[in-house]
Amino acid sequence: MSESAGNSRQGTRLDPWLDTYAARAHNLRSSEIRSLFSVVSRPEVVSLAGGMPNIKDLPLDDLAQSFAELIRTDGATALQYGNGQGYAPLLEMITEVVQYDGIRTPADNVVITTGSQQALDLVTQIFVDPGDVVLVEAPSYVGALGIFRAYQADVQHVLMDNDGLIPEALEEAIKDCVAAGKRIKMLYTIPNFHNPGGMTLSAERRPSIVDICRRHGVLIIEDNPYGLLGFHADPNPSLKSLNPDGVVYLGSFSKMLAPGFRIGWAVAPSPIKDKLVLASEAAILSPSMAGQMAINKYLREFDWYQQVKSFRGMYLERCEAMMKALQDYLPQCTWTVPDGGFYTWVTLPEGIDAKAMLPRAVTALVAYVSGTAFYYDGRGGDHIRLSFCYPPPETIREGVRRLAGVVKAEQELVELFGTNVRPDESSTRSISIPAPNQP
Which residues, 82 to 111, sit near a copy of itself by CB under 8 A? 82-84
Candidates 78, 352, 400, 404; binder of a copy of itself (CB under 8 A) is 78
Candidates 288, 336, 372, 430; binder of a copy of itself (CB under 8 A) is 288
Q: Binding string to a copy of itself for residues 245 to 284, with x set by CB under 8 A, is what? A: x--------x---xxxxx------x-xx-xx--xx-xxxx
Judged by CB, which is closer to a copy of itself: 297, or 360?
Answer: 297
Candidates 35, 162, 363, 437; binder of a copy of itself (CB under 8 A) is 437
Stretch that binds a copy of itself, among 158-166, 178-186, 223-231, 352-360 (CB under 8 A): 178-186
Give yes or no for residue 310 binding a copy of itself (CB under 8 A): no
Give yes or no for residue 15 binding a copy of itself (CB under 8 A): yes
User: Rule CB under 8 A: which of 131-160 touch a copy of itself?
Assistant: 132, 143, 146-147, 149-150
Whole-number Cα distances in Å, 384 to 49, 320, 333, 425: 9, 18, 11, 20
Amino acid at site 83 = N
Give yes or no for residue 69 binding a copy of itself (CB under 8 A): yes
Query: In whole angstroms, how close is the CB of 332 to a copy of itself at the nearest point?
Result: 33
User: Rule CB under 8 A: which of 49-68 touch a copy of itself?
Assistant: 52-53, 55-56, 58, 60-61, 63-65, 67-68
Query: In whole angstroms, how close is the CB of 92 to a copy of itself at the nearest point?
Result: 18
User: Rule CB under 8 A: which of 20-39 touch a copy of itself?
Assistant: 20-25, 28-31
Helix 167-179, helix 205-216: angle, nearest 10: 10
Give yes or no for residue 115 binding a copy of itself (CB under 8 A): yes
Query: In whole angstroms, how close is the CB of 188 to a copy of itself at the nearest point?
Result: 14
